[in-house]
C-alpha cells in the first residue's frame, strides 16, 4: 500500500497533507523518514510513525457519514449519486459498502465499511440492531395511533411489523422513532398505514453509533477506536 493511502485510511491526514508531512520528515517507516509519500509499505509488518506517534493499522475501514438528501445508499448507480461518491478516492478501500439503506431523501447516520462479515451480522434480521430516527409527519400522530405503531402494524403488503417505539414531541407531528428491523421504506409505510405521511426523516443512531453533531451534511469521519469496539461487540465479536 502507498504510504499516503496508509496515512489517509488510518485517519492521520488528507493525501495532500500526507505529501507535505512526508517531505517535512514528520513520517517515519521502520525508523527512516522517506522522502516521498508514494513509497510502498506493508501495513501488516512495517512500523509507521506520524508526528512522533505510532500509527495503528486496522484491517478494516469504518466510516461515519452524515448522508445528505439526493444520494442513494448503494456502491454504484447508473442514474443517481451514491453515498460512496462522498468519500474521496484515496479513502476508498476495496469492498467499501454502505451498511444498510436509507432512502434517497432520508438524511443522517450511515455506516460505511469494508468489513462484510460484520456488516452482514449487523443487518441480519435476528440481530435486532436498534435504529433511531427523527421524523416529522403531515398530521399529528394521535395517542391511539402511537399505541398501534408500538404494538406492530400491518403494512399494505400484509407484513406485520415488529413492535417499534414512537416518542412524540411538540404537537405530535414530530419526534423519535426506534426500529429493530429495516424493511423497505418501513417508517414511511408504517405512517401510511396510519393514514399519515412522513415529511422529514433523519437517522440519529445505528446500534451503538450516534450521529456526530460536528459532521455537516455530506461530511464523514473515521470511527473512533471505542466506536469500533462497541460496533464489533454488537456484531457478536
Ligand atoms: N424508513 C424509511 O421509510 N426510510 C428510510 O430511509 C429509513 C427507514
Q: Tell me the C-alpha distance between 50 and 180, whole Å.
A: 41
Q: Domain 130-206, CATH 3.30.70.1560 — does that match?
A: yes
Question: Which three cell numbers, joined as nine digits, stand for 199?
Answer: 415529511
- Identical fold at 3-54 and 130-206? no
pLDDT one digit per residue (tens) for the chain, 237 residues: 999 999 998 889 999 999 999 999 999 999 999 999 999 999 999 999 999 999 999 889 999 999 999 999 999 999 999 999 999 988 898 999 999 999 999 999 999 999 999 999 999 989 999 999 999 999 999 999 999 999 999 999 999 999 999 999 999 999 999 999 999 999 999 999 999 999 999 999 999 999 999 999 999 999 998 999 999 998 777
Measured over the CA atoms of residue 2, residue 49, residue 227 and residue 203, the dihedral's sign is: negative
**Residue 24: what pLDDT?**
97
Domain boundaries, the chain: 3-54, 62-125+217-234, 130-206
CATH superfamily of this structure's domain 3-54 = RNA-binding S4 domain (3.10.290.10)
For residue 181, give Cα distances in angstroms to 15, 129, 165, 208, 210: 38, 7, 12, 15, 17
Contact in structure between 77 and 43 (CB atoms under 8 Å) = no
**Residue 58: what pLDDT?**
86
Three-class secondary structure of residue 158 per DSSP: coil
For residue 133, give Cα distances in angstroms to 108, 136, 207: 9, 10, 12
CATH number of 62-125+217-234: 3.30.70.580
**Residue 235: what pLDDT?**
78
Q: Which amino acids are annotated catalytic? A: 103
**Residue 49 CB neighbours (<10 A):** 15
**Residue 21: what pLDDT?**
97
Question: Which three cell numbers, joined as nine digits, stand for 59?
Answer: 484491517
**Residue 63 CB neighbours (<10 A):** 25
**Residue 90: what pLDDT?**
84
**Residue 171: what pLDDT?**
96
Substitution site in 68, 180, 188 for ligand 1 pocket (most atoms within 8 Å of beta carbon): 188
Residue 32 has φ and ψ, to the nearest 5°, of -115, 140
**Residue 234: what pLDDT?**
85
pTM score: 0.89
Distance 133 CA to ligand 1 centre (A): 9
Q: Check pocket membership of 73 for ligand 1, CB cut-off 6 A.
A: no
Q: What angle do CA 89, 91, 96 make, to 5 degrees?
A: 90
Amino acid at each position: 500500500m502507498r504510504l499516503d493511502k496508509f496515512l489517509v485510511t488510518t485517519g492521520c491526514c488528507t493525501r495532500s497533507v500526507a505529501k507535505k508531512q512526508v517531505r517535512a520528515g514528520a513520517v517515519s517507516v521502520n525508523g527512516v523518514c522517506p522522502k516521498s509519500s508514494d513509497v510502498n509499505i506493508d501495513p501488516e509488518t512495517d512500523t509507521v510513525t506520524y508526528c512522533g506517534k505510532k500509527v495503528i493499522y486496522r484491517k478494516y475501514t469504518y466510516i461515519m457519514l452524515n448522508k445528505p438528501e439526493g444520494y442513494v445508499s448503494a456502491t454504484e448507480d447508473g442514474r443517481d449519486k451514491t453515498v460512496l461518491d462522498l468519500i474521496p478516492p484515496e479513502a476508498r478501500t476495496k469492498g467499501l459498502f454502505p451498511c444498510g439503506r436509507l432512502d434517497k431523501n432520508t438524511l443522517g447516520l450511515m455506516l460505511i465499511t469494508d468489513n462484510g462479515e460484520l456488516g452482514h451480522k449487523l443487518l441480519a434480521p435476528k440481530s435486532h440492531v436498534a435504529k433511531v430516527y427523527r421524523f416529522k409527519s403531515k398530521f399529528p400522530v394521535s395517542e391511539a395511533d402511537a399505541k398501534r405503531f408500538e404494538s406492530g402494524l400491518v403494512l399494505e403488503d400484509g407484513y406485520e411489523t415488529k413492535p417499534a417505539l414512537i416518542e412524540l414531541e411538540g404537537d405530535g407531528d414530530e419526534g423519535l422513532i426506534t426500529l429493530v428491523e429495516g424493511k423497505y421504506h418501513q417508517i414511511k409505510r408504517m405512517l401510511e398505514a396510519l393514514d399519515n405521511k412522513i415529511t422529514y426523516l433523519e437517522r440519529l443512531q445505528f446500534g451503538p453509533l450516534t450521529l456526530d453533531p460536528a459532521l455537516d451534511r455530506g461530511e464523514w469521519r473515521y470511527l473512533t477506536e471505542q466506536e469500533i469496539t462497541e460496533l464489533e461487540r454488537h456484531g457478536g465479536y
